[in-house]
Copies of this chain bind each other. A is one copy, B any other.
Amino acid sequence: MTKTPDGKSAEAPTMNDVARRAGVSAMTVSRALKEGSHVSKATRERIAQAINELGYVLDQSAGSLSSRRTGFVAAIIPSINNSNFSDTARGITDALEGTGLQLLLGYTDYSVEREEELIESMLRRRPEGIILTGGAHTDRARRMLQQAGIPVIETWDTPQDPIDKVVGFSNGAAMELLVETLAAKGYQRFGYIGGTTGRDTRGSQRRAGFVRALDRLSLPSDRIISFGVPPISMEQGGQAVVSMLDRWPDTQVALCVSDLSAFGALMECRRRGMRVPEDIAIAGFGDYEIAACCHPRMTTINVDCYGIGRQAALKLTRSIQGTSSDEVEQITLTGFRVVEREST
């Protein structure tokens, strides 16, 4: 509705209004608005002018009802305030560029219940595909997704029983690699800092990897501080490292569920006059910007967040367009690597 000078609101112009003004049929307007249709230059210009004069904006919801293509895909991430996931979102956006598909972003605050609600309200809008974070979902969410008949990509994880397709890595294996790398440098007394169990499944898997690797190396794997509701904050990381040193003062290296808690731990240790890594070594997970920039610079695991998003979106568009002959592989594993810096 545009406000008319008298203050009342007039109806928004429709395609028919544009058509009438340009002296053509609505169908021709529709064609002129779409790439690659045959509309003569003169007509196209007249239509463009009419659109301009009326301030017409295409109503896509009407269009998609008719064409049965909504032109968007949904992506659900745990948090938008987390550069790892927002990098994934950027990867998705970039890969969608030029496909005519738009991204509809939602965030769950790490709650599978919120995820379920979000999935439901997104499916109501009929996305052409959906990208999820992680492999843990409510039963109802799984059912809804299976019945939706659209491609589903689970990311950031390697679920046992994927709904459809997967782009991710094993969080457990990544943490195992970190433990092994540090053990090879001579560290023996490892501690782990993470949130209380539940909610953050990727965090739980990292913890499980920590335990597995140490057990394999016959090193103690019981120095685990569970603190705060996942995802734990920087502040909580600081508090957790204090508890850890309280309880096991001879801990040599503290591995944290993410760089953010590791950063909190690192700063707290510095604040207490401890030398890092001499008095205590610290490592994180995720290779956030902060890890490369803090002092001392932090050892961490780099995972290809942007690439996860990019590949997920590519897989999704291929699945959407793909005929049955053009099969898309089910699982794509993305890489990770240990980035050794000054903190270990």
Which residues of A pack against B, CB within 8 Å?
A: 1-3, 7, 9, 12, 55, 57-62, 64-65, 70, 79-83, 86-87, 89-90, 102, 104-106, 120-121, 123-126, 143-144, 147-150, 233-235, 238, 263-264, 267-268, 270-271, 289-290, 292-295, 324
Contact = CB atoms under 8 A, between A and B. Distances in A.
Contacts of A124: 57-60
26 contacts: A3-B149, A7-B324, A9-B149, A12-B149, A55-B143, A55-B144, A55-B147, A57-B124, A57-B147, A59-B124, A61-B70, A61-B125, A65-B65, A79-B86, A80-B86, A81-B83, A81-B90, A105-B105, A105-B106, A233-B289, A235-B293, A263-B290, A264-B293, A267-B294, A268-B295, A271-B295
A149 B10 CA distance: 9
- State the oligomeric state as a number of copies: 2
A80 B55 CA distance: 31
A144 B150 CA distance: 33
Contacts of A9: 149
A58 B292 CA distance: 47
A65 B89 CA distance: 29
A57 B12 contact: no
